[in-house]
Structures are given as C-alpha cells and as structure tokens.
Structure 1
Amino acid sequence: MGFRDLRDYLGALDRLGMLRVVEGAHWDLEIGAIAQMMQESDDDPALLFDKIPGYPAGFRVLANHQNNPKKQALVLGIPTDLNDLEIARQMKEKRKQTGLIPPREVDGGPVLENQDRGDQVNILKFPTPKWRTLEGGRYIGTATLVINRDPDEGWVNMGTYRQMIHDEKSVGFFVEPHHHGMLIAKKYWARGKACPVVACYGQEEELFQAATGSAPWGRSEFDVAGGMKGEPIDIVKGELTGLPIPARAEIAIEGEVPPPEVDSRTEGPYREWPGYYSQEPTPIPVLRIKAIYHRNDPILTGPPNSNRNISMGTITHAAIAVWEALEKSALSGIRGVWAHANGLFIVISLKQEFAGHAKMALLTATAARGSNSAYRYYVVVDEDIDPSNINDVLWAMTTRCVPEDQIDIVRATVSTRVDPIISPHKREVGDLTCGRVLINACKPWEWIEQFGKHMTFTPEYEQQIRRKWGRLMSRPARKA
C-alpha cells in the first residue's frame, strides 16, 4: 500500500534524510530562490517552508518534492538505492502491472477541517509564493490537481494545469487546447454554461503522478492513482459541484469557470517547464472560487522541481510512454529509454539486429502517447550506451552518427503554447506545430563489425574492482 497522505510521504522523506525544514523565508521570491539553490546542492532535499512572514505558523509550502528518481521511486514503493535507469525500468513494469482502482466515497476527511464559503472565501490566506522574478503574479497552481467531469459521458478528468491568483476569489484557468480539461470545459461553454471545477493544492503524491500522466480519454486519473497506491483514493463529494475531492488533501477549492466571453483576465507570464517565459500576458478563462477547504496547518505544494533552466534528473512520463510504445510495437532489442531536459531530449538504447532497426525505433518514439507535446530531439544509441548518462549519449552522438546519413527532421508535429520556439506569427494564427529531430547515434549498420573498438574493461571486471576497491571512493584523498 502507498502512503496514507502527503504528510506520511514527508515523514518517509524525513526518515531517509531527504527533507529539510526552512523557517522565515518570504513568499516574495525568497522561497523560489532557496528552492533553486537547494536543488543544485549535493543532497537535493525536499523543502518544507514554515513561519512565512505575514502568515500563521503552520501554513506551509512544499517545494522540490518530486525532482529526482529517488523521490519518485519512494512514492511507488520502488527501492531508492537502484540506479536511475533501473528505477525507470521498474516504474515502467509497475505501470504495466498496475490495475485501475476506482475511488471510494467517504463521509468526511481532514480536508474538511476548515471550510470557507461566500464572503469568507479568500485564496490569499495561503502563503502562495511569487516563484521567480519575471512572473506576472503569485502562482498557487504548480503541482495542483484540476478536476472536472465530462457532461456527456460522466467520467471525471484530473490534470495538472497552472493557476495564477487574480484576487481573493478567483484564479486563472490555463489549460492547453488539446488537454482533456479544456475539451471538457468547452462542452459546458458550448451550452452557455459555466464548467464546475475542483482544484487541490496539496495531495497524495500518487494523485500528482497520475494527474501529470494523462490517462486515455474516458479513463479517470483517480482510478490510475488508486492502482498506483494499491487501494482506493478516499474522496468526499463536493457539495457545490458534486465533484470528487480527495479526502486527505491539504487544500481544495470548489468553483466554476464561465465561458471565456463572460470572464477572461490577463494571465502570465509564467516560466514554464522548457525554461522560458514564452508567452506574453494574455486573457484566459477564470476559475471563480465558491468554497475553500483545508486541513489544520495546511501544506501548499509548490513546483516538484526548481531548476535554473531545465530539469535533467527526473524520470518523465515521456520516457515511460516511449519505452512502452516500443515494447508494444514488438520491436526487439530495446535496452532502455531516458528523457533528458524535461522530455525535450529522448534517448533510446537498443541492440541493432537488422538494417533500419534504429530508424524504426525513432519513428515509433515520435508517435508514442506522452511524447506528443513539445518534445524535440529523439536519439537512438547502441546497447553499450547508458541512455540516462548524458556524457555517454553525447559521446555516441559525436563519434558514431554520420550526419549526412543519420539525421532526419519530421516537420509540422503538434507542440504547445509554452514552446519557446513557436514564433509570434504562428501563435497568432493558432499554428502550434514544430519539427522533431531524429538522430541515429548508433554505429553505422553497414560496417558495424569494422567500427573501432573502445572497451576499457569488461563490466564483470569493473564490478570485481568495485567490490574489492570501492572503499577508496568514499575516503578523502590523502594530502601530499
């Protein structure tokens, strides 16, 4: 079984020495700057900010809570002492074996310990940070859950979409046009109705992982999260929307999003996952808050990572999705998949078995679900290259790829509004497409047997040396 709630997970991080409590940091830039600084430290702990100036002690903010493979593994019950690629492999296998477990409605839960409605509603009661210098406001929705229900089919969608605070009773509703949350909202708007919405700002990490993974149309991410956890997610029924609210969430709101022509307000800019403020402030729909629920001493979840430009360490859904797609295609020889740079740079390791093997893997990867939004570079390497080791990958690219024969570009593939290389003109006309680069960094198949040898030691001998002499790696060098 998984962790009971977010606090249970934080307790496990603390026992492993992976949690740091920080007191006295200000919500205006300081929290964001500290989170970035600590992500670059050797131990890279999750950060729990408390005693934030201007707010009651106990009103806390969590950052850097899912920014490396060990923290991700902990959520799923995978041993944290494995290497990164093996953690990714076990995540893939666990997802393959995990069934769907629907949520369980309960009469109450900790999220209902405090309830504000009507004139009491004030989302500014929580210490939402301004995370970075150029952002257009305070973003409460970074690791959030946004929940709505398809009015025709009745299934419940749960996604992670950014939300900027406009005022005490409203936040932005920024959702990409092709994401399920927006497709559902448009069904309500087409009928002249507001779309009922629940948002959570602190919840079990299984819920967050499921929400960022995007289940197929018609399948609720609540069911996926239950499968990850190994038991149903407890929910309470929202009295204003009828939507499910995680019973052990830290903070939740109920409200509605009217059609854009009724209420749209300027939002942004926000530094999105590619590392840029790629959009000018623009009018977007608004979520009008009707009720706020929160636990005693609530924890607001901030960004799962706080990288300076782009994250290189986490295991993304793109890597797992591509790995699964390659296996389902019956393409043999796949050794592993990794996604660097937040998924913009996907690497496949395989054992070449026939001419065109590497090209088939690249083409299959570009069509994989989960890699269809702004992912840019696809690289295939031989089985002796660890795809999670960027130095090994760059070595293969610069010494094995014959540029005039082994690089291709696929044009006009779907991207996203936050893609920094979508030109202003293309944004204006709604053309959110870009190219993808396919790089075969394997030894050329036609003369693979004549390609230069490079091995320094056999893997078995390296392991033997590590067992015998590994203690040298943990001792400081002796001074001369």
Structure 2
Amino acid sequence: DVPVDFREHLENLRSAGLLNEINAPISKETEAHPLVRLQFRGLKEEQRKGFLFSNVHDADGKTYDTQLAIGCLAGSRDIFSIGIGVEPGKDLLELVANAISHPIKPELVQNAVCQEEVHIGDSLTEHGGLGEFPIPISTPGFDNGPYTTFSHWVTKDPDTGIYNIGNYRGQVKAEDRIGCFTNPPQHLGLHWAKCHEKGIPLEACLVIGVPPYVSYAANTKLPYEADEMEVAGALSGKPLPVVQAKTVDLVVPAYAEIVIEGIISTTELEPEAPFGETHGFMSQPVNAYFMEITAITHRKKPIWCSILSQFPPSESTKLRGISFESTFFKHLKYDCNMSGILDVHFPEATSSYYTCIIKMKPVTKADPWSALQAASGFDPFIKNFIVTDEDVDIRNPEMVYWAIATRAMPHRDMRIIEGRMSAMDFSAIEAEEAEGFKYMEPNGSSAILINACRPWDYPPTALPKKEYMENAVERWKELGLPDLDLKNPWYGYDLGFWSDQCEEEAQMAVEGRHYEIGERSKKRRVPVTKKNTGLI
C-alpha cells in the first residue's frame, strides 16, 4: 500500500531491511552526508539503504530531539518503489503516465499533524527558528552552509490560483530567513516573475518530510497548468489531504513533518551558493530568491528529511531519472501518438538529465527522427538524444554503445541542432558565467540527435540460438557453476537478413554434417578477380 506519511514509509523500509538506524553521535556538518555518500560510491544500488540518525549534534555540540533521515526517498529504485506502494522491480512508466493523465483534486482538512506545534509572531524563534532542526551540510569542505534539499516549495499562480510544488534547495541564512534557488522556466520562477510584474511579494511554503508520493509528484516534469497535488493524489489513488497554512494564503500537505511559511521578496535578491550540484560540480555564487519566514509548524518530535544530490549517482538523479523517463514516455507515446515507443532512459551517469535514450519499434524510416525531434522539443536543456531499436537494452550502456557503433553512420544519422538553452553547463560557458539558465548568443547551445536504429535488415546477432543457450543454462546448473546474471541479449536472433542457404547450413553444422558443406563449397569455387578479393 501507499504509505500515508513519511513515518509509515520509514516503517516499511525497516520491515524490508532497507533502513540503517544509527544511534551513535553524528555531526550534521561533517559526518551525516559523507556517511551516506559512501554507499553511493562503494556499494551496488541493490545494497543501498536509507539512513535514520537519532543522535545528531552540530559544530558547537548542540544536540537535537529531531531525527535526521537521509537516503530514504530514492536511495535506490527499490526504496523509491516502496515509497510509491508498488512491488520493487515493477515498471513505473505507465503508472506515472496514468497518474499525470488522471489527476485527483486534493481534500481540505481542518486539523493536521503538520500543525501540532505552531510558531508564529513572537514565538517564531522561541525554539531557534530554523536552528531547531538538524539541517545538514551536503558537501562539507565546499558548501557555504547547511541547505534544505528534501524541500518542496508550495506556491501558486497569482492569476489562476493553480498550485505548484517544486523541489528546490534552500540556503539557511538566519533563524527566520532562507534562500530559494530557482529561475524561470521553473514554475516557482514563473510565479515569482508574475508577482514581480504586479509589484507584490510571492507567498510560499517550504514543506519537509511529506509522504513520498508527494515528493515524487513534486519532482515530475509537468505542464505549467498541471497541479502536482492532484498528480500526487492520483499516485496514491485518493485525494491528497491538505490544510490551510497559518500565515499565507496557501494549502499544504497535511501529513508533512515540517512546514515553513513565508514571503519571497520580488524586489531584492541575495547571494547564494556555492553548493554541490547534480551535474557533479560545485555551483558558484549567484544572486537568488530569499524568503522571510512568517511561521514554522511541525509535528511533535519531527523528522528532518534530506536527500543526497551533488555527484551522480545520487538520490536526485534517481528521482529525476524516473520522473523524466515517465514524462518523456507519456509525451512521446501518448501525446505525440507514437505507438512504437517502448522505453525511455536517462542514465544516472549523465545526471539523469543530459542524455535521453529512446527505445522504439519503428514502423517507417521517419519514426526514429520523429521521436528525436519530439523529445528534443520537450526540453531545451538536454544535450544528447539517442533512439535505437526494440532489441537493444537501453539501460545497459554496453548495448547502447554497440547500437551506436553498428547502426549509426555519422554523416547520415547524427545531426547537431542549435538554439538550445544552457543550465549550469560548464561545457557551454566558463564557470564564472555558467550559473542559472542561459541562452548563449547568437545561436544558443546545441544538442546532438543520434539515430541508432537499423537502417535496413541486418544479419542475426552473433550468439548461439536460443535453444542452445537455454540448454547451456541447464547444463551450467547441473555442473554446479556460479549463479548467472544474464544480460540481454544472451542468445542470437534474426534481424531480417539471413538466407535459406545460411539457415540450412547452420542446421547441418550442428548435426555434424560440416563435410557436406565443404563439398558444396568445393563445387562453388570461383576464379580470383579484383572484385572478389578487394584488390585495387
């Protein structure tokens, strides 16, 4: 079942053996994130677990009643699946696509656990304001302070009232002030721009520790007019409970651990960063939004939730990858009516952002290019688009390399397109100017489109036929050899170019009749010519 709140999600992880509970003293500045980072650098994905720290202290020795959770949202695909209430290993593409297409409106409730304790006005900082919580440093030694990362910002369009929940980082600047890093075309940035034009501030709520399905909706690439709260409801199969905020005209998820309400200035910006970014490098200082806090509400003994971002792979690349794969799949297969689309993959090694790989069964020779053009038009920042055939496992980089090497001819099957945007891309511009979202005059940035679909029929793949490999698997087991983890393809298959003679002689060979084939060859001898020897 879909967990009702983050605490039930932790209990599900505990039951599945996917939660490391740490009671030893841990520094939020120098130890918490580095410990979780080690599993992303030193363990296979299926070995990763969430971390729950119960004895956290800061650089001054202050201890916290609040627990700190890291890696519990998307430390692995299995952790993600448990958070959304599905069996690990289940295909998520159709699930998310269906939720986007069939949203469910939220349900307003009067009382909510996220408001069990309320700090407003004179009591806003009585427990330290933001200092009440063990907000960790993500990249100690490089970050310029603690940042919220598992932080979903709730805002709404000042004209239409349509909500947005987006995941953006927030630099802790004071007990009652926090940064917010985003720009147009992110939807919060568009709300900010509208408020700026009207000469009014932007009301916002930063929510921490929401039910995982809300986080997954917040990280999904949705159209501007879509409401993440409604998609979250569709993911859970029922309306998302929301409650009215205390000091701003917004509703927030009722089962959040912590809600930070406030006003974002639309007349001033503040310096923000450095911060370790998802492309794997440190972002540089940039002027960004900031919020003056007007209220802090939370559950009793709340849990502070943080995600691992920065160098890939990370929780943010896992979240983004699943989100982008699902939304691009829906866009191509259903919105663009391309029935041949079978899978979409954003490799974590490319930050689940810079490279989009499409698997399809083309009906016409135009289909691969249609898919590439539709995908490139869906996001102006992605740099590499690859499409290949239904027999290629696009989640195995070796097979993608093989497809490009054997099915794509550069002058015919690779195209460079310009007029693209750049998002913190140090390959597009030097680091000192590369922050934020930019269009590089005069022609913008660029992307490459690679058609790695077979241009015509090919001979069979050079692996033994399926029946012989299946027999080999049985013999392997009989012989007591180590367990296998077979990669596709693990047997040969026909790709259209294979004559009856070749098929007949292959069968004769396994029957031990190769001398007969030799006699046939003898009768077919031909004289040497320049043409049949390759001589010039």
Q: Which amino acid aligns with 1:73?
A: S
Find the residue that maps to 1:367 and give its secondary structure: helix
- CA deviation after TM superposition for structure 1 residue 374, in Å: 2.8
Q: CA deviation at 1:154?
A: 1.8
Q: Which runs of 5+ in 2 are unaligned?
A: 485-536
TM-score (norm. length: structure 2): 0.79
Residue 30 of structure 1 deviates from its aligned partner by: 1.3
Instruction: Tell me if the contact between 2:258 and 2:299 (Cα under 8 Å) persists in the aligned partners.
Output: yes
Read off the aligned partner of 1:210 and give its amino acid letter. Answer: A
The corresponding residue for 2:451 is 440
Q: Distance in 1 between matches of 2:436 and 2:208?
A: 32
Corresponding letter in the other structure for 1:323: F
Between stretches 464-473 and 351-360, larger displacement belongs to 464-473
3-state secondary structure, aligned to 2:219: helix
Q: CA deviation at 1:386?
A: 0.8
Deviates more, 1:325-334 or 1:246-255: 325-334
Equivalent residue for 2:20? 20
| 1:98-113 map, 5 Å | 99-113=102-116
Match of 1:11 in 2: 11
Is residue 325 from structure 1 mapped to residue 331 from structure 2 by the alignment?
Answer: yes
Q: Give 1:286 shift.
A: 1.2
Give matches, 1:360-399, under 5 Å.
360-368=370-378, 372=379, 374-399=381-406
Count of residues in Structure 1 that have an aligned counterpart in Structure 2: 459
Does the Cα contact within 8 Å between 1:62 and 1:299 map onto a contact in 2? no
1:226: which partner in 2? 233
Partner of residue 478, structure 1? none
SS in 1 for 2:99: helix
Give, in angstroms, the shift of residue 400 of structure 1: 2.7
1:199 Cα deviation from its structure 2 partner: 0.7
Q: Which has the higher contact order (CA 8 A, sep 6+)?
A: 1
Report the alpha carbon displacement of residue 457 of structure 1 after superposing the two structures with TM.
Answer: 4.1
Q: Kindly report which structure 2 residues correspond to 1:156-175, keeping only aligned pairs within 5 A, or say none.
A: 156-175=163-182
| Alpha-carbon distance between aligned partners in 1 of 2:15 and 2:211, rounded to the nearest angstrom | 18
1:425-451 Cα deviation digits (max 9, x unpaired): 5769952642111112233x1xx3245
SS of structure 1 residue aligned to 2:161:
coil
The 8 Å contact of residues 63 and 304 in structure 1, kept in 2 or not, is answered as yes
Q: How far apart, CA to CA, are the structure 2 residues paired with 1:208 and 1:293?
A: 19
Q: CA RMSD in A?
A: 2.8
**Residue identity matched to 1:301:** C
Tell me the distance in 1 between the aligned counterparts of 2:445 and 2:314. Answer: 19
Residue number in structure 2 paired with 1:420: 426
Q: Is 1:271 aligned with 2:276?
A: yes
Residue from 61, 83, 86 that aligns with 1:78: 86
Distance in 2, matches of 1:460 and 1:115, equals: 69
The answer on whether the counterparts of 2:422 and 2:445 sit within 8 Å (CA) in structure 1 is yes
Tell me the equivalent position of 1:300.
Answer: 304
How far residue 110 of structure 1 moved from its aligned partner, in angstroms, is 1.5
Q: How do residues 23-422 of structure 1 correspond to structure 2 at under 5 angstroms? A: 23=23, 24-39=25-40, 40-42=42-44, 43-53=47-57, 54-82=62-90, 87-92=91-96, 94-95=98-99, 99-119=102-122, 120-121=124-125, 122-132=129-139, 133-140=141-148, 142-261=149-268, 264-278=269-283, 280-303=284-307, 307-308=311-312, 315-328=321-334, 329-340=336-347, 341=350, 342-368=352-378, 372=379, 374-416=381-423, 418-422=424-428
1:206 alignment partner, SS class: helix
Contact residue 187 and residue 224 of structure 2 kept, 8 A = yes
Q: Secondary structure at the match of 1:398?
A: helix
Query: Structure 1 length as normaliser, TM-score?
Result: 0.87
* Partner deviation per Cα, 1:292-322 (whole Å, 9 max, x = no partner): 1111221222125565566776643221222
Does the 8 Å contact 1:202/1:250 carry over to 2? yes
* Mapped contact 1:316–1:343 kept (Cα < 8 A): no
- The 3 A distance-change label for structure 1 pair 397 and 105 is same
Between the two proteins, what is the percent identity of the paired residues?
A: 23
1:339-398 deviation digits (Å, cap 9, x = unpaired): 113132211112343323322221121123xxx153221111221111111221122223
CA-CA distance at 1:251 after TM superposition: 0.9
